[in-house]
Structure 1
Amino acid sequence: MGQETMMKTVIFDFDGVIADSEIIALAELQVSLAEYGITVDWNTLLEKFLGASVKQIIAFAEARIDGPVDPDFQKDWYARLFERYRRELKPMPGAEAMLDRLDAAGIDYCIASGGSYKRLGVALQAIGFAERFEGRAFSAESVEHGKPAPDLFLYAAEKRGAPPADCVVLEDAIAGVTGAGRAGMRAIGFVGGSHLEGARSPHAERLRAAGAATVLTGLSGFEAAAFGAV
């Protein structure tokens, strides 16, 4: 890799980028919303909830039912979700090899996720990445405003000691690409997750429209897209 890469910090979204988890999380969220009489089709789930924090999801539900959700909404959703994570969750194909290459090149990286720290912890443990990301997996719980606000990306950069202009972000969510741009960071889109089967091309166009410099369908080409050198 070229010298330019040594100046960069990579900020990864987690769900749908490092872990192939969105197909599980969105399916279980769909069930939880249906319990309140809220019917949401798959395309709407992709549009509304990729990159969303629990606070944003609850706000959506409460607006739809014009009242509060049960205090156990998150607990019940997470109980089903975590059971499936422990049984089914896998890393995104190519994620481990990509992270190994970044480690070998001395390139810093971290996670900036709309999910809670509890959800991140369970998922990282399930895919065997907990030790690799110890101390560098950040949640929207740490900031006032989740994606598409820039807060979480700026928080992650500060924690890693990296100027925003020296960070590159890999995101599958429109909210994440938007937030990265607002933080002054270069964003690369990703559409390789199972949740985007049958919708990769239109979602890639939406990511580009939101500001993604390029969009990847797999992780093997990440370094070339991020740094222009391999």
Structure 2
Amino acid sequence: MSGLGGTSVIFDLDGTLVDSEPNYFEAGRDTLAEHGVPGFTWADHERYVGISTLETVTLWKREYGLRASVDELLAAKNRRYLELARTSTRAYPQMREFVELLASEGVPMGVASGSSPEAITAILAGTGLDAHLRTVVSADEVDRGKPAPDVFLEAARRLGAVPGDCVVLEDAAPGAAAAHAAGMRCIAIPYVAAQADAPEFATADLLLRGGQGEFTARAAYDWLLN
């Protein structure tokens, strides 16, 4: 029997469970180039890590003065991203091991992501993580995306868990802020190392400044036990 008692674990998806940001970058670069904005760089992309695709394209429209509607931009980026997500998304090995360890202990788990439901489903199926992660919430299904707590609170509701009994794993500052606002503990694994000093990460209960290179399934499990 698990020593974690009533603990439930909620994972962010992109940059936390899987290394999908290169796919988002490529999809974004291609979409912007099609709409007359060439030269979109990885550094440009990093400014949008941790927010939903809808929020990203809304910002693009304003910042780049795009003529296309938000709906058109969203559809174009999602179409390109889904093509990549189905075939070339890699789960972080230690995260996969952590999920499998928690599953073996019967710990309730869910995913709360800024991605679309279609993207989440494609990634979880493509990586095989859907075998253990069946409770899924997209920012598209709630009123507000991260840094608002809505996706995490909805995930807790679907898991039948009290927010205070939930632990969130997050790679981005808006997600860490959302976990804190939801009244949940947070393990923060910054995807962008330069953002580790962001004030949102200071609210995390465990901050792994080295990102995925510092994360191990066993250490995370032992931390949960304490």
TM-score (normalizing by structure 1): 0.84
RMSD (CA atoms): 2.3
1: CA distance between counterparts of 2:147 and 2:200? 15
1:102 corresponding residue in structure 2:
102
2:103–2:132 contact (8 Å) kept in structure 1:
no
Deviations 1:123-174 (A, max 9, x none): 111112223223x011111111000001111111111111111111000010
SS at match of 2:221: helix
What are the ranges of 5 or more consecutive residues in structure 1 without an aligned counterpart?
none
* Stretch moving more, 88-97 or 162-171: 88-97
1: CA distance between counterparts of 2:114 and 2:202? 18
1:137 corresponding residue in structure 2:
136
2: CA distance between counterparts of 1:158 and 1:62? 34
Match of 2:225 among 217, 224, 227: 227
SS at match of 1:130: helix
1:155 corresponding residue in structure 2:
154
Question: Matched residues, percent identical?
Answer: 29
What are the ranges of 5 or more consecutive residues in structure 2 without an aligned counterpart?
209-213
TM-score (normalizing by structure 2): 0.85
2: CA distance between counterparts of 1:56 and 1:74? 9
1:20–1:90 contact (8 Å) kept in structure 2:
yes
* Stretch moving more, 101-110 or 209-218: 209-218
1: CA distance between counterparts of 2:199 and 2:216? 16
Deviations 1:191-227 (A, max 9, x none): 4xxxx4xx53x23333764422222332422213333
Deviations 1:99-136 (A, max 9, x none): 121112221110000001011111111112223223x0
User: In the comparison of the two structures, how many residue pairs are matched?
Assistant: 218
1: CA distance between counterparts of 2:141 and 2:93? 29
1:1-230 equivalences under 5 Å are: 3=3, 5-38=4-37, 40-47=40-47, 49-66=48-65, 69-70=68-69, 71-134=71-134, 136-191=135-190, 196=191, 199-200=192-193, 202-206=194-198, 209-216=201-208, 217-220=214-217, 221-228=219-226
